[in-house]
Amino acid sequence: MKRDDRFRSALIIGGAGFIGSNWAHWLLERSDARIHIYDNLSRRGVRHNLESLQKAAGHSGRLQITVGDVRDTAKLDRAVRFATEIYHFAAQVAVTTSVLDPRLDFDVNLAGTFNLLEAVRKSGHRPFLLFTSTNKVYGELSGHTLVTSATRHSFANEKGISEQEPLDFHSPYGCSKGAAEQYVHDYARLFHIPSVVVRMSCIAGPHQFGDEDQGWVAHFLYSALQNAPVVIYGDGRQVRDVLCVDDLMRGFESIRALLPRTSGQIYNVGGGERNSVSLLELMAMIEQLTGSRVDYVRRQRRAGDQSVYWTDHSKLTRDTAWKPEISVAGTLERIYGWWRRNRQLFPAPEREFARQLGTLQPRMAN
């Protein structure tokens, strides 16, 4: 890839997390950009991600790290001063947490984004701003006709969910992310800030410390490798499209490179129908890849959960020629390889986990 010789100073909010650290690695390896990581270091694994970034940056002087929170307006004001581009990945990411603590969800996702936008507006310059949102802004998608097979639910007539789908928030998380993206979109118009909103589906790949509420592909794989059961809410035939984080990075680069065309736009970004997979299908793929059994217990379906979601990314493909290249199987292989190289980061699970779930029931054959 041709290196960009123009001065670039990239501020990555949430830059020590899964997507942020992958993007920082991408920029360190493929550009001459100076990287400023802004993160409160609250998530599992972020310190390891920072160590990896520091190793990659070496003695280049291209990496700066600020430990800060999006709720700290003074620190944000200082952080944005010299940025030529800003990537906002910091968020409260779990629907369940948003229900248990709506105030935290609001303060981080909506108020935190507003704080960043105000810092940019007051800075007196107009850096490119990319904001990552979620498919949860489309709600339950109950108006779509589904068909069901032995292993999955599917859309009957849809090629995927496009940006034309009406917004329909079904959780505090959906509300906070949806309201935040509308603020970003409106600031782009009102204050002429070149901004893009990306509504992401399921992103998976290396540097991901998945858990039950976020990063479920990695969570299922790690659980199988550690002989720990997972919890299935519903019948296991729920479908999501999986996008490898490497493909997402290419998408970000395409969006930035074609900014005159993409500025002010909202894009759905995901693996699409070809990379859609149900929970049951993913578990079968994991067992084939690793030889490890995926044990699970069932729980009642969670309110607001989408039975089927896969992305219609045709708008982004039309504007940038981007499209996913890595399959679900290829994504699993990348995560598996990263896990093998970093097994020390994953201590063996305790059996207390099983007791917290209640009495474990053996998996029944279909």
Cα 15 to Cα 107: distance, rounded to the nearest angstrom? 19
Chain position carrying tokens 């935290």? 104
From 38, 87, 138, 173, the catalytic residue: 173
Question: What is the distance, to the nearest Å, from the Cα of residue 57 to the centroid of all Cα atoms in its chain?
Answer: 24
Active site residue 173: yes
Closest CA to 11 of 2, 27, 197: 27
Catalytic residue list = 173
